[in-house]
Structure 1
Amino acid sequence: MVRIADLSNGNYWRHMGMSTVEKEGKIQVIMEIKDNLKQFYGNVHGGALAGLIDGSIAVAVNQALDPGVGASTVEMKINYLRPANTGTLRAEGKVIQKGRNIIVGQSEIKDDEGNLVAFGTATFMVTQLKR
């Protein structure tokens, strides 16, 4: 889908090392853990996890949008459950409520062993794209 390619080719996604893969008909956002994503104690920084949650929900939201509209995050809440410091993280977002102006989604981040690292919800505002 073009919208997903637009997201994954963006500067921020490249900077964070995020990319998409399709697994069992669903799109996941993956991020390999590298040193530049770690905080002082050697674990992935909460901000990097937040970016992964936001990105994976954005993928789901963009799949639900009509042509000519976009969406931007206006609110996000995250629960950090366990540290991650090696391997690859996978996040899968989904839309839980779609309205005309607001879309709410949720996502979970899991590590290579399938452990739940973090989960979150985000609210996106739908806007008309300028042409």
Structure 2
Amino acid sequence: MDQHYTKLERMYLGANVNTQIFDTTTVCITEKTAEIGLTITDKYFHALGATHGSIYFKLLDDAAFFAVSSIVTDVFVLTTSFNINLIRPVSSGKIKAIGKVGFESKNLYTAESTLFNESGKEIGFGTGNFAKSKIALTEEIGYK
């Protein structure tokens, strides 16, 4: 399974959104868990000088998504719904989302994720539903 996790990590880090926009992203995937990290800079700010909610969403969804992907070894997983709650703003430092699988069936999965600031305080959380696609995990999609 370690090889599967490594391939997923490479796929995540190689995605255009992470190479062209989120240049300080980190990822660590293990069984039913994923941690996604980001160093905050002002390019992620809204008009009030704090991190935009879309950044919270991305990290929370990514962490839950890859927690589920850690146990799906044949096909790409799709987010079918995801709800987030924003608790406090952040404008500097490193933030980290930790995702964990909560429910699994043959084709449907639920995962939750929590976002923490550099001091370890919770700044947001989310819950999502994920389904298996028909897209095989191959090198063509970055799974290598």
Tell me by how many angstroms 1:64 deviates. 1.0
Where structure 2 has 5 or more consecutive residues not aligned to the other structure, the ranges are 139-144
Match of 2:62 among 52, 55, 60: 55
The residue that corresponds to 1:114 in the other structure is 120
Determine the structure 2 residue equivalent to 1:87: 93
- Provide the TM-score with structure 2 as the length reference: 0.82
Percent identical among aligned pairs is 22
One-letter identity of the residue aligned with 2:85: N
Do residues 123 (structure 1) and 109 (structure 2) align? Answer: no
Q: Which residue of 2 aligns with 1:28?
A: 35
> Structure 1 length as normaliser, TM-score?
0.89
SS of equivalent residue, structure 1 residue 16: coil
Distance 1:40 1:84 in 2: 13
The Cα of 1:82 is off from its aligned counterpart by: 0.3
CA distance in 1 between partners of 2:126 and 2:29 (Å): 21
1:16 aligned residue:
22
- Does residue 99 of the first structure (1) align with residue 143 of the second (2)? no
Mapped to 2, the partners of 1:129 and 1:78 lie a distance apart of 27
Match of 1:3 in 2: 8
Deviation at 1:113, TM superposition (A): 0.6
Letter in 2 for 1:13: N
Distance 2:50 2:135 in 1: 38
The whole-number CA distance in structure 2 between the counterparts of 1:114 and 1:87 is 11
Pair 1:77-2:91 in alignment: no
Deviation of residue 118 (structure 1)? 0.1
Q: Deviations over 1:9-57 (max 9, x none)?
A: 111123223221479xx64210110111110001100001100001111
- The CA RMSD measured in Å over matched residues stands at 1.8
Structure 1 stretches lacking a partner, 5+ long:
none
Q: 1:22 to 1:54 in 2, by over 3 A?
A: closer
